[in-house]
Amino acid sequence: MGAWLPQRDQQQPANHESRGFRRAEAACDPEPGLPGDLQGVQSEPGSDGVRRTQENPYSVILSNKFYEVQKYVSATNHTFTQNIIIVSKKFWDRLSAEEQKMFRDAYAETREYQRDQTKLAAEKALGELKAKGMQFNDIAPAEYARMQDAVKPVVARSSGDYDQTKVKLFNDELARIRSKSN
């Protein structure tokens, strides 16, 4: 599944306004769709006159040839796909302390490698997209902050559906991570 969002040169603040950020509610009402339908959706403007585009990692944009119907690609950095290891509690509890330690150590050892490989793959795919004619938009920090402020009401509304203790834990961890990257 993908999400179809208005396609614009996101470098220009005015285009964020037309994208729907002037009304955060509108910016967060993506239309669900199958990746195979995207090329047709992008070739015709929607009822509001805005062409649709998708939200995917660079490698997916490249492998699905979305560059054929999409002119811009923007670095919003709003997600990172991490490979995680999940096992059932029943399985985990059957492992000895030594075996559990082996799992933890192996994960810790491969975590940075996976992050590095993901970054390299994204950089390679982005380079290929640029070579195929896509215009790359790097969102300025001030504009990125403005976009985050614009969607705060939506985040607050959506967060109300979850256990507030978990929401706080999530937000605290997110703040910790962001402080390390600044």
Q: pLDDT (tens digit, 9 = 90+) per residue, 85-111? A: 889 999 999 999 999 999 999 998 888
Average pLDDT over residues 127-139: 91
Pick 39 or 140 by higher pLDDT. Answer: 140
- Provide the 8-state DSSP code for 162: S
Between strands 135-138 and 72-75, the pairing is parallel
- pLDDT, position 165: 94
Question: Model confidence at 139, in pLDDT bands (50, 70, 90)?
Answer: confident
User: Does an H or E element contain 6, and which?
Assistant: strand 2-6
Q: Cβ neighbours of residue 6 under 8 Å, at least 6 residues apart? A: 18, 19, 20, 46, 48, 50, 51, 52, 53
Q: What pLDDT is recorded for position 7?
A: 47
Tell me if residue 21 falls in helix, strand or coil: helix
Burial 14-23 (b: 16+ CB within 10 A, else e): ebbeebbbee
- Residue 130: its pLDDT value, please? 95
Most confident of 12-21, 23-32, 125-134: 125-134
Q: What is the mean pLDDT of residues 22-28?
A: 43
Per-residue pLDDT reduced to its tens digit, 2-22: 333 444 544 444 444 444 443
Q: pLDDT digits over 47-70, tens only?
A: 555 555 667 888 888 998 888 888
Q: Distance between CA atoms of 171 and 124, rounded to whole angstroms?
A: 31
Return the closest-CA partner of residue 82 out of 55, 57, 54. 57
pLDDT band at 129 (very low <50, low <70, confident <90, very high): very high
Give the pLDDT score at 91: 96
